[in-house]
Amino acid sequence: MSSVSRETGPPAIRLDRVTKRFGGVLAVDNVSLEIEEGEFFSLLGPSGCGKTTTLRMLAGFETPDEGSVYLRGKDVTLVQPNKRATNMVFQNYELFPHMTVSNNVAYGLKLKKVPKREITRRVDEMLEVVGVGGLGKRAADQLSGGQQQRVALARALINRPAVLLLDEPLSALDVKLRKRMQLELKSIQETLGTTFVYVTHDQEEALLMSDRVGIMNQGVLLQVATPRTIYEQPADDFVADFVGTLNEITIRIENLDAGRGLVTSGDRERIWIDAPGGMSIGQTVRLAVRPEALKITHQDRWDGATDLSYARGTVSDVIYLGPFTQFLIESERLGRVVSQQVSDAGAAAIQPGTQVVVSWRPDAAFMLAGPASEGR
Amino acid sequence: MTAVTGSPPSPGGWRRGLAKLRRRPIASSGFVGVVLIYLFAPLIVMVAFSFNSSPRLSFPFSGLSLRWYEEIFTDTLVLRAFRRSVQAAVVTAGITGVLGLLAALGILKIAKRARGFILAISAAPLAVPGLLFSIGLAIMYRQIGFERSIWAATLGHALIALPFVFLVVGASLERFRFTLLEAARDLGASRWHAFRTITLPLILPAVMGAMLLAAAISIDDFVIAFFTAGQDKTLPLIMYGRVLKGIDPTLNAIGTVMLLLTTSLAFMAARRTTIGER
């Protein structure tokens, strides 16, 4: 699936303790990171988290105040953008409006003094690859948003960059086109084998496309991991909350049993936690469970499976989302939680006011650090 | 619905058309007509009489002829003045084009607040009466020993036209997307190459428009030339000399030529600076 495991040669990109300030404001805070050749790497975070600044330091538009940037093992910290083997797809594409599509795409090759005939051949080829073959003679400002996006991609890729940098390239497209372009981008990346560094604030996009994701907040790189790890074992509260919705449950450990904590036991409810060492009876912990990991069962049909954690509650609201349905459940033990289920006949049978049993596999829950936050 | 004859024969269709006609505000459109005639009558009279075969400036026309044009185009005095005017206009456009572009580019490097201040002062000369400006210029030339000549006048033209060029080019740079230059740099262009292939072609229409405007200002100028051109009489100065001796039919011909020149320059300038940018 991913080509992360390639061991030969230096990483495509290495950031070594990079810091960038803008007028005293810390935009990027001591970030170190390695991105492998051929990897699809996403920098994910809310706006203003420093992801775009990081990308711009890779491109050479910003110079770090501290730390170094290495491209294929070479220190490029102070190298001008036109001398770097990186190319960028800008958020607003930045196609040259006074040129044809072909001339836009050929811009980089002309600078490299590539023979004319070869330029023509490679431009046509690249336009074909990104799916706008035949549009070469169009003026760049006569294209639709999706076409502009593809041309911007072709203009960058044709230079065969060591690393392609993409700054929220799909954010200006409508939802349907965005979904399609996500898959196409991924497939282009796999075909060409180019290292992609992709900046986005859309967690779904990042998880869908990337080999690995780096999550940033307030200039700090919080976690770098595969999408699955990010989602299932988030490094901290911020990551957990940013990547998808989270149910937070605060509970007191009532019993400890061979590395497993048993919060409470009985006919009405039972909550297991995978307790690492150092836990003690009476301690309060915060547990997080994703909405889709919470199953709900009509109270009358509950058969009391032994290996699950479960608690009782009342459905207070049902939100139909097409393929999925979300249930808001008020539970004495869990507080207010959200459960997301496939919209099938079973889900349809559950109405507001229904008494249900909320259950989950203990390993689908993870522990949160720090004190309980309010208002969740 | 637009034309009564073109609409399908629906019941009452033509009657509605008639009502629409009646509602048209005849009084106000009549007023606009009068104002337009008032504005353009002098020009119309001038152009019309330039084609009159009789030297008498009165109706009715005795016949159409190009004799006045023939006369001015064989008059070496007029021709020399014409050449001087055109030369002054071209040089003015050249000087202001280069200086205005450089100034507009340079000001971008200055902090936003200072920039507003500089823009404000650079526009200030536009508010100074041309007469005062010309007298000041003449005194200054005298002080530094710059002889009165067409060059002295041209420099004066460049001075009054420069703010226009600076402001027009500045406005177009204000709208220029500088991130385009980042894209060019990212693709391997040096700063200079990016300027040459991206910035310049994109703001060139505005620069050209501003230069045409400067040329029109130069051709049109009377006051500065009057005080600084000395013996190098420009077209307006020649006309002034003739007016002093009494209205002469060749004036109409010279005037018509100048009208054609300045309006076509202004028209081209307007096209480039507004419509031309789309």
Out of A310-324, B1-15, B62-76, pick the least confident.
Answer: B1-15
d(CA B101, CA B106): 8
Q: Which residues of chain A make contact with B198, given a CB cutoff of 8 A?
A: 96
Chain segment A287-327, per-residue pLDDT in tens: 888 898 999 988 888 877 767 888 889 999 998 888 889 99
The pLDDT of residue B3 is 39
Nearest to residue A156, comparing CAs of A186, A181, A182, A130? Answer: A130
Model confidence at A113: pLDDT above 70: yes
A68 against B52, higher pLDDT:
A68
Task: Please give, rounded to a whole number of angstroms, the shortest distance from the CA of A156 to a CA of chain B.
Answer: 7
User: What pairs with residue A289 in β-bridges?
Assistant: A247, A365
The pLDDT of residue A309 is 87
Contact B184 A59 (CB under 8 A): no
d(CA A47, CA A33): 20
Contact A94 B177 (CB under 8 A): yes
- The ipTM estimated for the assembled molecules is 0.78
Chain segment A9-65, per-residue pLDDT in tens: 889 999 999 999 998 899 999 999 999 999 999 999 998 899 999 999 999 999 999
Chain segment A270-292, per-residue pLDDT in tens: 888 776 666 777 778 888 888 98
d(CA B152, CA B139): 12
d(CA B214, CA B89): 7
Contact A82 B183 (CB under 8 A): no
Q: Which residues of chain A make contact with B180, given a CB cutoff of 8 A?
A: 94, 96-97
Cis check for the bond before B205: say yes or no (omega within 30 of 0).
no
Contact B180 A88 (CB under 8 A): no
d(CA A285, CA A371): 9
**What is the pTM for the complete model shown?**
0.75
